[in-house]
Amino acid sequence: MSSILDGFLEALYLLFTFDPEIYQIMFMSLYVSGMATLLATVIGVPLGAVIAIKKFRGKEILRNVTYTMMGLPSVVAGLIIFLLLSRSGPFGMLGLLYTPFAIILAQFVLALPVVAGISISAVASVPNEIRDAAISLGADNWQCISKILGEAKMGLITGIITGFSTCLSEVGAAMMVGGNIQFETRVLSTATVLEAEQGYWGVALALGMILLILVFVINYPLLRLQKKNLNLLKNRVKR
């Protein structure tokens, strides 16, 4: 019990004295997870909207594959990127394995189906009457899509935040393709595992606290938006 208390006190000391290694790990995590989520958003939101709105051959298969990939294990995503970037892989000559770029790619593979899958559900939940009303007012296809995406914005934001949280908290992919190299590819999740295994409870707890704080900061705006939308719906019902 005393070792846990000592570790907790050491964690607070490291946080409030702005230990450079701790915060370097935090910024590296934010960078790689942020870039992976950005790429997943740019591709996943339009992809999800197209799957939800358009009718085409193989739509059901593509949607089911997307939903299935939402549960992709992080070690499998890491293995895919590892095989592609290893020396014997097709892109081995680029020397990208054990770099932040490799982690971004692996986390992108994890985040893309999450963002796309939630986007599909969000866009599909928008009533058809909204699209019909936009068409009756003379809106073209792009204006209709823009209107539908606007109505589905809460779901889209949820997908993006969920994708970012997935990237931030995963361990397997970052460990496999990043190597957990100090000052190079060490991120919050992999560093926490390493420090805990070595018995450095203070550092592990400090990293864990940062992860918890980041998750709260990320999700708080979403909770506020959901509460605001709920109040708007209640006001509409009263009217």
CATH of domain 2-238: 1.10.3720.10
Burial 8-26 (b: 16+ CB within 10 A, else e): eebbeebbeeebeebeebb
Q: Which residue has the higher pLDDT, 65 or 239?
A: 65
Contacts 24+ apart (CB under 8 A), 67-71: 67/113, 67/117, 67/120, 69/112, 69/113, 69/117, 70/113, 70/114, 70/117
> What value does the mean pLDDT take over residues 115-131?
89
Whether pLDDT at 10 is above 90: no
Where along the chain do its domains lie? 2-238
Amino acid at 117: G
For residue 6, name the pLDDT band (cuts at 50, 70, 90). confident
Whether pLDDT at 233 is above 60: no
> How far separated are the first and last CA of the chain, in Å rounded?
58
The pLDDT mean for the chain works out to 88
Q: With both helix axes pointing from N to C terminus, report the angle between 153-169 and 201-238 in degrees, rounded to the nearest 10.
A: 170
13-17, 30-34, 209-213: range with highest mean pLDDT: 30-34
Residues 177/81, Cβ–Cβ less than 8 Å = yes
Please write the tens of the pLDDT for every residue from 136-146.
766 667 777 78
Whether pLDDT at 44 is above 80: yes
Whether pLDDT at 124 is above 70: yes
Q: Report the range of poorest mean pLDDT among 27-41, 171-185, 215-229.
A: 215-229
Query: Which residue in 160, 165, 161, 164 sits closest to 48, CA to CA?
Result: 160
Please write the tens of the pLDDT for every residue from 60-119.
999 999 999 999 999 999 999 999 999 999 999 999 999 999 999 999 999 999 999 999
Residues 49/149, Cβ–Cβ less than 8 Å = yes
Q: What is the pLDDT of residue 5?
A: 77
13-17, 31-35, 90-94, 227-231: range with highest mean pLDDT: 31-35
Q: What is the pLDDT of residue 229?
A: 63
Q: What is the pLDDT of residue 129?
A: 78
> What value does the mean pLDDT take over residues 202-215?
90
Whether pLDDT at 238 is above 70: no
Q: What is the pLDDT of residue 232?
A: 55
